[in-house]
């Protein structure tokens, strides 16, 4: 190891000891690198991911797993790049991501580096100044978003379509890599009261509307707010039957995408008309026959499949990737916390707001069940012709000169 060079001023001034013109060479002090910087900290346990190797389309292919079932869009995106590395040019000529065949553990920093390379490889071949400036702006925006990928992204669903999200800067990562982002939290079109109450609002906007309607003097607005509140309560799993039907109809056969539900991001694929989620729980690291988990119901009932989508011996309901049994209580708590925050901003008593909501919910539910029997939802036909990849998500774009690729 080479001795530390003389770096006058690097630490606030040179040492008073030693002859003029520089001190004699000394070995680096313990705990300090040769450049005088603190030693690099070892990766934290939560930043290390085990690699599971599977047979995918005849090739030995890695899948990144995680030990905690948390909001990690980084893994969902990286696993798509790993599964599609053979698609030549699919990622601007980068060919996706490949790992060394003996790789067993990978750090979040390494995953970020692979993702960054894939994003840079999307640079357009057109050398026109406008496109290049637009690309540079998109890259700058993406660099700001990348650190959030290992924790959680700010996405705000709209209840009108499986690809509809309120625009946030985080969405640019999916656009640059041409990865579809889906959810299944849709309003049933056969419930006109809910359609009227929810409209084209995002989740955050809908919660704000509920608070506002509670304080309205117009009885029709109060009733509309109660219907909206009942919708959130009855769909706390964030997946409705209509949403599942629409997702099945809109996703393309063989297409890999990212599915958002309950603040979690999963890799999703459509195979022979059925939807499957990639199993990334580290508990199945040694289970070669557990690769995919079916997504065919809204209540968490599912089954595991192998890499060829053949039924596995394990039941999805017992797996760690299944929806937690108390997701409705968790979502209800999220809704109430958000309402309390809005109430405090508006100078209201949050306790009175919650008690009013509880009472109103009960009364509205009784009246709704008496006068509005709910017909069984039906699968609506998919719109003819798929939308271009760049138009998958309908959202308002900021007033910027650049355009998302």
Q: Which two tokens stand for residue 291?
A: 């690769």
Among the listed residues 118, 264, 305, 402, the single catalytic one is 264
Torsions phi, psi for 239 (to 5 deg): -145, 115
Cα within 13 Å of Cα(173), Cβ side: 27
**DSSP conformational letter for 311:** E
**DSSP conformational letter for 239:** B
264 flagged as catalytic:
yes
Pairing of strands 181-182, 165-166: unpaired
Cα-based angle 382, 384, 387 (whole degrees, multiple of 5):
95
Strand stretches in 116-212, DSSP E: 156-157, 165-166, 181-182
Q: What CA–CA distance (Å, rounded) separates 341 from 264?
A: 23
Q: Is the dihedral of CA 10, 13, 17, 19 positive or negative?
A: positive
| Radius of gyration of the chain from its Cα atoms, rounded to whole angstroms | 26
372 flagged as catalytic:
no
Q: Which two tokens stand for residue 249?
A: 């109809």
User: Does an H or E element contain 234, and which?
Assistant: helix 219-234
Among the listed residues 72, 171, 213, 245, the single catalytic one is 72
Q: Using alpha carbons, select from 68, 60, 45 the residue that is nearest to residue 263.
A: 68
* 3-state SS assignment for residue 269: strand
Q: Please give the positions annotated as active site.
A: 72, 264
């Amino acid at each position: 190891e080479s001795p530390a060079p003389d770096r006058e001023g690097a630490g606030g001034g040179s040492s008073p000891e030693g002859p003029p013109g520089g001190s004699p060479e000394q070995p680096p002090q313990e705990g300090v690198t040769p450049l005088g910087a603190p030693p690099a900290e070892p990766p934290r346990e939560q930043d290390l991911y085990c690699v599971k190797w599977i047979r995918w389309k005849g090739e030995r292919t890695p899948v990144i797993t995680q030990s905690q079932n948390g909001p990690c869009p980084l893994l969902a995106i990286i696993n798509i790049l790993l599964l599609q590395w053979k698609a030549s040019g699919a990622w601007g000529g980068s060919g996706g991501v490949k790992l060394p065949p003996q790789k067993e553990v990978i750090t979040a920093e390494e995953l970020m580096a692979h993702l960054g390379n894939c994003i840079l490889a999307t640079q357009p071949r057109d050398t026109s100044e406008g496109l290049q400036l637009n690309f540079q702006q998109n890259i700058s925006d993406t660099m700001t978003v990348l650190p959030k990928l290992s924790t959680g992204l700010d996405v705000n669903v709209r209840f009108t379509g499986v690809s509809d999200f309120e625009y946030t800067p985080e969405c640019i990562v999916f656009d640059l890599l041409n990865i579809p982002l889906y959810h299944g939290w849709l309003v049933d079109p056969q419930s006109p009261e809910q359609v009227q109450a929810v409209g084209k609002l995002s989740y955050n906007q809908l919660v704000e509307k509920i608070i506002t309607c509670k304080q309205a003097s117009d009885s029709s607005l109060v009733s509309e707010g109660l219907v909206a509140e009942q919708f959130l309560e009855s769909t706390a799993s964030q997946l409705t039957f209509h949403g599942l039907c629409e997702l099945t109809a809109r996703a393309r056969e063989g297409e890999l995408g990212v599915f958002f539900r309950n603040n979690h991001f999963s890799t999703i694929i459509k195979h022979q008309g059925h939807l499957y989620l990639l199993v990334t729980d580290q508990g199945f690291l040694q289970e070669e026959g557990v690769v995919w988990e079916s997504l065919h119901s809204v209540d968490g009932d599912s089954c595991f499949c192998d890499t060829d989508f053949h039924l596995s011996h394990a039941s999805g309901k017992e797996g760690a990737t299944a929806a937690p049994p108390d997701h409705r209580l968790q979502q209800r708590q999220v809704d109430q916390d958000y309402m309390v925050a809005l109430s405090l901003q508006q100078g209201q008593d949050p306790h009175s707001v919650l008690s009013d909501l509880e009472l109103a919910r009960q009364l509205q539910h009784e009246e709704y069940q008496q006068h509005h029997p709910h017909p069984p939802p039906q699968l609506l036909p998919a719109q003819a012709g798929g939308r271009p990849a760049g138009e998958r998500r309908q959202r308002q774009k900021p007033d910027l000169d650049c355009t998302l690729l």
